[in-house]
A and B are shown apart, each in its own frame.
Chain A
Amino acid sequence: MNRIVGGAYAAVEAARSSSRPTALDYISNVFTSFIELHGDRRGGDDPSLVGGLALLDGCPVTVLAIEKGHTARQRQARNFGSVHPEGYRKALRLMRQAQKFARPVVCLVDTAGAGCGLADEQHGIGQAIAENLTELAGLSVPVISVIIGEGGSGGALGLALADQVWILEGAYYSVISPEGCAQILWKDPAKASEAAACLHLTARDALDLGVADRIIPETDFGKKPFYDSLREALSEEIQNLRKEPGLSDKRYARFRRF
């Protein structure tokens, strides 16, 4: 039992590690010709959400990625990957652009949770996520979301209402942080490891629950073969999805089963 308890929380701690590859590492190694596009056209640009165009095996795609940064300074600048409403609205703008140009969307998710500062509330963080959910639900282009580290609650879901949801072997996906859960249930954030085990948040759990479609192994993690095989998998899946008519209906059915 103790081993299992340690297991789930150990996975969370590993997923949070600043030494893990972040979204920008994936962008530069999986894609080519990345061109970052800034701004939500509503008055802001959120560095925690990196959006733009890139080539995946020569095909143009829209990339929406949550970037945490590696160094303390980078992490501060990226708000530790907690996306502000401006970031979700930048993503929304680029989703609509992807739809216009019939371009597939690849989302890289890595967040402990959406931004929870005063300005985030004042600028409608809940509304921003909600609007992304209805937007993603209606897209007729392929959408693949890969949870590369932390899949923290609504902040992650705001980029993960996708045709295919993949999760890295060492990533997690959860409705609430284990600490938050422990605080609410037992008024004791120190019981986070018990909470983690109860929440069924590991990559394996996500797959078993049907929340994730595929686990991406971390063989040669962060090295060329790892990125090469991810590129191959993404490219192949996008080809498959492109052949399927009625993607938004299939996406509806995918989430309908929960």
Chain B
Amino acid sequence: MALLHFLKPANALEAGGRDHLPVQSDAMEPELTCPECRRSTPVSRLQSRYMVCPCGYHFRMNARQRIRMAVDAGTFREAFADIVGNNPLAFPGYPEKLETARAASRENEAVICGTGKIGGHPCALFFMEPGFMMGSMGTAVGERITRTFELAYEKGLPVVGFTVSGGARMQEGLLSLMQMAKVSAAVRRHADAGLLYIAVLTDPTTGGVTASFAMEADITLAEPGATIGFAGKRIVEQTTGKRLPKGFQKAETVEEEGFIDRIVSRQQLKTTLVMLLAMHPAGGERT
């Protein structure tokens, strides 16, 4: 049943961004080549298995695909979609970048928020969008996520959030940096009300998002193989002055280091979320 709702949106970026553009096979059906096992798989087949290669490699997914994967069919109500970024610092070239991102992702900002049910449990939800400037966080993203936590606080709901981000959006300067503080304060208020926050870290979750709400959840899940870190690899390599160890900033390594509760494959994700939500009866303990 869930698979039937897992339909392909008309969006070239959904298949994982620039790295893995579909290639045409003889049968004219678009295929994706797995960077792990080099096998090519028809996109339609991948879609029926949550964009996971038979070898287990997780291709990138866009936010709408995740909503279909995680949220009970027909229950998602998008909210705060009218909050969009402008160009507060008159940063050169930024309006054009926003235009391109909007055209490429068919979203108006880098996160989709709302409410919905997961296994019948009402939740406040956010899904970051890799096709929109790689999920970078500016004022609109910060405001939407803050409002999601505020809504959850008012209604006594858990928050389930999917992160994917290159970090703070530099074109909005200090205002982007302030989003880390703003969202963190909202997370704290929600937490103090005894409410549950589950973060699902997907590829890549880095920079200011890692240094704020991605790492502030009660339960932190991650997708297999996801890059999770703060500084970019290049910078760490320069600072360290030697080659980085195998598996650096990979979810599996970050779990070993103690910063992730659990790595969950997409096939297991919804079941896991439902189990966790069921163990946290609504309301929590208000302080």
Contacts and interface: CB of A to CB of B under 8 A. Distances in A.
A54 interface: no
Interface string B87-111: 0010111000000000000000000
A28 interface: no
Interface string B167-207: 01010111111111110111111011000000000000001
A126 B240 contact: no
Given A255-B182, A258-B179, A134 B257 contact: no
Contact of B181 (A122, A127, A157): A157
- In this complex, the member of A116, A123, A161, A205 whose beta carbon has the largest number of chain B beta carbons within 10 angstroms is A116
Most buried by B among A126, A176, A255, A256: A126
Given A130-B211, A137-B185, A252-B185, A198 B174 contact: no
A154 B182 contact: no
B230 A198 contact: no
Interface in A149-185: 153-154, 157-158, 160-161, 173-176, 180-181, 184-185
Contacts of B185: 133-134, 137, 161, 251-252, 255-256
Interface in A66-96: none
A199 B235 CA distance: 20
B181 A161 contact: yes
A129 interface: yes
Interface string A214-258: 000000000000000000000000000000000000011001101
Residue from B176, B180, B191, B214 having most chain A Cβ neighbours under 10 A: B180
Contacts of A117: 236, 239-240
A255 B143 CA distance: 11
**Chain B's interface: helix, strand, loop or mixed, by majority?**
helix
B258 interface: yes
Interface in B54-88: none
B32 to A, nearest CB: 27
B41 interface: no
Interface string B138-159: 0100100010000000000000
Contacts of A211: 174-175, 177-178
Nearest to B242: A118
Interface residues of B, number: 51
Contacts of B257: 122-124
Nearest to B210: A126
A158 B184 CA distance: 11
A50 interface: no
Nearest to B220: A127
A252 B180 CA distance: 12
Interface size band for A: 35 or more
A158 B89 CA distance: 23
A243 B187 CA distance: 26
A121 interface: yes
A138 interface: yes
Interface in B209-230: 210-216, 229-230
Nearest to B177: A175
A125 B179 contact: no
A40 interface: no
Nearest to A186: B93
Contacts of B173: 174-175, 198-201, 205, 209
29 contacts: A116-B230, A116-B235, A116-B236, A118-B244, A118-B245, A118-B248, A122-B257, A124-B257, A126-B215, A126-B230, A134-B185, A134-B188, A137-B184, A153-B168, A154-B230, A158-B211, A161-B181, A161-B185, A174-B174, A198-B89, A200-B173, A200-B174, A205-B174, A206-B174, A251-B185, A256-B185, A258-B175, A258-B181, A258-B182
Given A121-B230, A154-B208, 12 more contacts: A118-B240, A124-B215, A126-B229, A154-B180, A154-B207, A157-B177, A174-B173, A175-B168, A175-B170, A200-B173, A211-B177, A258-B142
The 7 closest A-B pairs by CB, nearest first: A126-B210, A133-B184, A126-B230, A116-B231, A258-B178, A130-B215, A137-B185
Interface of B: 89, 91-93, 139, 142, 146, 168, 170, 172-182, 184-189, 191-192, 207-208, 210-216, 229-231, 235-236, 239-240, 244-245, 248-249, 257-259
